[in-house]
Structure 1
Amino acid sequence: MDFSVTLVNLAGAVALLLWGVHMVQTGVQRALGAKLRGLLGIALRNRFQAFLAGIGVTAILQSSTATGLMVTGFAAGGLMDLVPALAVMLGANVGTTLIVQLLSFHVAEVAPALILIGVLMFRRTSAAPRDFGRVLIGLGLVLMALNQFVALLDPYEDVPSLRMLLGAVSTQPVLDVILAAGLTWAAHSSVAMVLLTMSFAAKGVVPPAAAFALVLGANLGTAINPVLEGGAGDDPAARRLPVGNLINRGIGVAVGLAVLPWLGPWLVSIDPDNTRVVADFHTGFNLALAVVFFPLLTPFAGLLRRLLPTRIDTADPGRPLYLDHSAIEVPVVALGAATREALRMADALEAMLLGLRDALQRPDRRHLSELKRLDDVLDTLNTAIRSYMTSLPAEAMTEGDHRRAVEILSFATNLEHAGDVVDKGLLGIVSKQLKRGLVFSSAEADPLCGIIERLTTNLRSAAALLVTGDERAARLLVEEKGTFRGLEAEATTEHFARLRDGRLDSVETSTLHLDALRDLKRVNAHLVAAAAYPLLESRGELLDSRLR
């Protein structure tokens, strides 16, 4: 066969391998992505659970890069401590070796069966069988690609020029590491790179020493992607986890290169099968890295915090100002700090409502974008408050402290939900006005603006109620729900009356007007639930049901 044709076929086999790995990863992420993300969130309580979760999640996803990006997002959002996050990455590095171990055995014969079953499942209408079918097809393609790759190398394994070239490369382990790291970074898959290395080693195209160096490079390259893609924003603290993972991988690769002249011959003497010995070296490297770094995670995390300190941006409205972590051991002080932070959420929501009032009268695209960013502020503050409150020591809290913590969490959560209604519902109405060139008439806009003014007053009452805990104010706020129900019913009746009489300026704006009323009523319901309901419920002033 012509050598140029062989090169194209080899490139096609590599592309098929990468696509198969991609199908396995995307199939698993579609089928189990949310559950795996939830598993990581639950397991990040201590380093031991986190390490096991990292192994399990990555063994299923077959991508330490995907796991790294998920955990980096958790760490950047303040949802976990750095130590268990680093433990997850150690586990992820071990988990990604399991599929390599499986494929190191001679299982290429099952590839057609896997593809056949996968296609039959993929043709099903429900999502779960389709996603699992995608995984089976991907595994089949990986096995076929590896088998084809080895077959294509057969005629050329004894070519003198190729032997000379590969022999020159194999004498430069540092060059092997750099080459494999670059290819792994480009392919976003250490699994694919290690499998290719196994194929080279199986045919004797590269000696075991060079194969081990290529494996080291693949382990280094897979740590580069989270550093480039996982650091959120300009805050260096968001890059602590991926940088830490890259550092421990780099140290491991440096040590591995140093001991390779002695370690390589010993491994070959134990197992003469080059395919198996490359897979075992890959697994052993990551296990050794986990054993060495696991006891050192706490000081290593401290070093990362000093190297990448949190950047404090006083102009960032989403940055918590009052959540003093040194006060966590004194719950009464911490609860006061959380209350002050929750009141900042009320200020942000009030700014959204006042901006909404102006936007309904004079829609403006730039103004709309600024208002949507305020919802991100609410989300960030709510996450920070929830994380802060859950870190309080339960044994140091009284029954009253627990009750107060629930009130603060309820307030923050409901204000965040109210912001979502404004963002996705009411600002969505403004967006429709802009797209369709619609403007509310004064008969439609004036009542909406009046209701928004009333909502603003209720929001201020809810914020005051969080501080004072006054039962009379709570009852007045609850009565506002009846008022809003009456306003919506009155506006709906007026809408249909004008529709019958042909007095509508625009059917579209009238429909948007009704949608806005319903969303404003929902916002008010969240305000009542934020401050009035927890207080009245704690004092036994709420009925179980409104049914007669």
Structure 2
Amino acid sequence: MSGSVVLLHLAGAVALLLFATRMVRTGVERAYGDVLRHRLRSVLRNPVLAILAGAALAICLQSATAVALLVGSFSGAGIVGGTSGLLAVLGADVGSALVVKLLSFDLSLLVPLCLAAGTAMFMATERRDWRQFGRILVGVGLLILSLRMIGEASEPLRESPILPVVVNYLSSDPVTAFLLAAIMTWLFHSSVAAILLVVALAARGLIPVELGLVLVLGANLGGGVIAVMLSRAAIPKARIVPLGNLIMRGTGALAALLVLIFFAPPLDWLGATVPDQLIHGHIAFNLMLALLGIPLAGLVHRLAGRIVALGAPEAQPASLAATELSALDEAALDTPSQALANATREVVRVCETVEIMLQRIIELYVEADQDKINALSALDDRVDRKHAAIKLYLAKVTSRTLSEADALRCQELIGACVKLEQVGDIIVRNMLVHVQKKFDRGLEFTEQGWRELTAFHTSVVANAKLAFNVLVSRDSETARQLVREKDRLRDLEKRSSQSHFERLREGTAKSVETSSIHLDTIRDLKQINSLLASMAYPVLEERGLLSGSRLKAG
């Protein structure tokens, strides 16, 4: 077999290894990701538990890099402390090393079992959790199969006249071998895959143990680089934990490399065979780093923070687009018509903010992260600030002598401002809680249930625009349309609830799991719509178009 064909087979086997590793990771993330993240957040306060939690999560995700990025984002959002986060990532490196050990056993019998069971599970049901579990099984089967393919593909290399020359050169130049392994691992974007390849080649007698350990150390350095490169576009605080992990792994790998070069320690205690020695050396290295991390994590985290701060751009003055201007001119208070116009402009700005909040909240039901949640909460804070400022301004206006029309307009603006503030509170204090509950429990709406929610939300957003137009134009026909929409939405809510309860009676699993979130969200949207619709009442009442609290026929 020619060398090019051998390399082609080896490349295909490595590609399958990378694909299978990713398949397992994405399956676990989709099926259990939210549960794992929630559990991880709750145990990271204890240093030892942080290490154990990181190791467990890396075993589940088949990737220490994924854990580093996840924990880095938690630390950047202030959900977990930086020191605990760094310990969790060091624990993830240990977990990744244990994955290599697990895959080194003879698991060939699992290949047909995992492929058959996983495929059957994936094809036989529409349940999301079962389909993802089937995906995980197929990924595990392909992962084990790829290791066997790497061994078979590398078998002809025994007879290669070039390989001994390359191995001898790398053995005599451990620094080059170390750097090549780091680059290879970064290209693979998986330290597990890189080390499994080294172990597979060593099992065929193609790599001596001394060179193998150098390559393993280089792979550890490359594994640390991956997370740093993938997080380079994140906010500075989220980059500190991956960089701290790279500092620990890089320093440790260089120190271990120097020990191998200058002291040539005995390696028999690591195992009876070369593959065992490489795997056990990999585990021992990462376990030692985790133990050293307990006293040193705080120091390394502070160092990484300073390095990130050096590379962060200097704070720039706020842009004109981000500058908040206020229309509440104190000099206009003695001219009520101008003061009320100023107040109207400011209330319209609150309307715009509330409209943005309404549009963004439904997006969080699909994909929520802490940055988006924080941004929505910040918008509510802005509404609260403007609400307080407008009420104070209008209170000063009412202390002047006002005409009857100006007094009524003043009360109308105060009422509208209060209702807008209540809408913001419902979005943040109620609907954000539903979002958090949905993702903490890993729940999914049924397709029909989600269509009902989005249709209801779309109607509420449309009615919000009508309400804001009424506030400015005071057009009676728009006000009448808004109140009619309130009645239509009441009927839509009844139909949605009936449809939801029918799905519950049929025993649809997703409907049962998401029942309270579905109903509570509809209720909150209905309450928001009622508050917005009531902004039309002053216009209708002024024109004699209200009968009690109901719209007169006409």
| Residues 158 and 22 of structure 1: CA distance in aligned 2, closer, same or farther (over 3 Å) | same
Query: Partner of 2:509 in structure 1?
Result: none
Unaligned runs of 5+ in 2: 323-345, 359-369, 382-421, 434-452, 475-479, 491-521, 533-554
Three-state SS of the structure 2 residue aligned to 1:123 is: helix
Q: For 2:471 and 2:253, how far apart are their aligned partners in 1?
A: 64
Unaligned runs of 5+ in 1: 320-347, 361-374, 387-409, 434-439, 455-485, 497-515, 527-548
1:489-525 Cα distance to aligned partner (Å, 9 max, x none): 54445999xxxxxxxxxxxxxxxxxxx9995842777
1:106-162 Cα distance to aligned partner (Å, 9 max, x none): 223432222222222222312222222222222222222221221222233133322
Q: Is the 8 A contact 2:259 2:265 kept in 1?
A: no
Matching residue's letter, 2:53: A
1:198-244 Cα distance to aligned partner (Å, 9 max, x none): 011111111111111111111111112221222455x5333211111
Q: For 1:134 and 1:76, how far apart are their aligned partners in 2?
A: 31
Q: TM-score, normalised by structure 1?
A: 0.63
Query: Partner of 1:461 in structure 2?
Result: none
203-212 vs 348-357, which moves further: 348-357
Query: Partner of 1:416 in structure 2?
Result: 428
Alignment of 1:210-221 (within 5 A): 210-221=211-222
Query: Partner of 1:294 in structure 2?
Result: 294
Q: Is the 8 A contact 2:58 2:64 kept in 1?
A: yes
Q: Is the 8 A contact 1:353 1:452 kept in 2?
A: no
Q: For 2:153 and 2:288, how far apart are their aligned partners in 1?
A: 35
Three-state SS of the structure 1 residue aligned to 2:162 is: helix
Q: Is the 8 A contact 1:488 1:518 kept in 2?
A: no
Query: Partner of 1:341 in structure 2?
Result: none
Q: Does residue 374 of structure 2 align to residue 379 of structure 1?
A: yes
Q: CA deviation at 1:75?
A: 1.2
Alignment of 1:121-136 (within 5 A): 121-125=121-125, 126-136=127-137
Q: CA deviation at 1:171?
A: 2.1
Q: Does residue 192 of structure 2 align to residue 172 of structure 1?
A: no
Matching residue's letter, 1:449: N
1:400-420 Cα distance to aligned partner (Å, 9 max, x none): xxxxxxxxxx99974536897
1:445-480 Cα distance to aligned partner (Å, 9 max, x none): 6655236999xxxxxxxxxxxxxxxxxxxxxxxxxx
Q: Is the 8 A contact 1:105 1:276 kept in 2?
A: no
Q: For 1:162 and 1:383, how far apart are their aligned partners in 2?
A: 61
Q: TM-score, normalised by structure 2?
A: 0.62
Q: For 1:104 and 1:250, how far apart are their aligned partners in 2?
A: 25
Query: Partner of 2:196 in structure 1?
Result: 195
1:148-184 Cα distance to aligned partner (Å, 9 max, x none): 2212222331333221122212222222222121121
Alignment of 1:128-527 (within 5 A): 128-233=129-234, 235-261=235-261, 266-268=266-268, 271-309=271-309, 315=318, 351=349, 353-354=351-352, 379-380=374-375, 382=377, 414=426, 416=428, 447-450=467-470, 490-492=484-486, 519=525, 521-522=527-528
Q: For 2:263 and 2:109, how far apart are their aligned partners in 1?
A: 33
How many pairs were matched up? 402
| Residues 200 and 353 of structure 1: CA distance in aligned 2, closer, same or farther (over 3 Å) | same
Q: For 2:210 and 2:472, how far apart are their aligned partners in 1?
A: 72
Q: Is the 8 A contact 2:195 2:219 kept in 1?
A: yes
| Residues 418 and 43 of structure 1: CA distance in aligned 2, closer, same or farther (over 3 Å) | closer
Q: Is the 8 A contact 1:91 1:290 kept in 2?
A: yes
RMSD: 4.5
Q: CA deviation at 1:15?
A: 1.0
Q: For 2:62 and 2:317, how far apart are their aligned partners in 1?
A: 41
1:60-103 Cα distance to aligned partner (Å, 9 max, x none): 11101111111111111122211111111111111111111112
1:21-52 Cα distance to aligned partner (Å, 9 max, x none): 11111121122111111111111223222222
| Residues 26 and 518 of structure 1: CA distance in aligned 2, closer, same or farther (over 3 Å) | closer
Q: For 2:472 and 2:456, how far apart are their aligned partners in 1?
A: 13
Q: CA deviation at 1:2?
A: 2.8
Q: For 1:289 and 1:114, how far apart are their aligned partners in 2?
A: 34
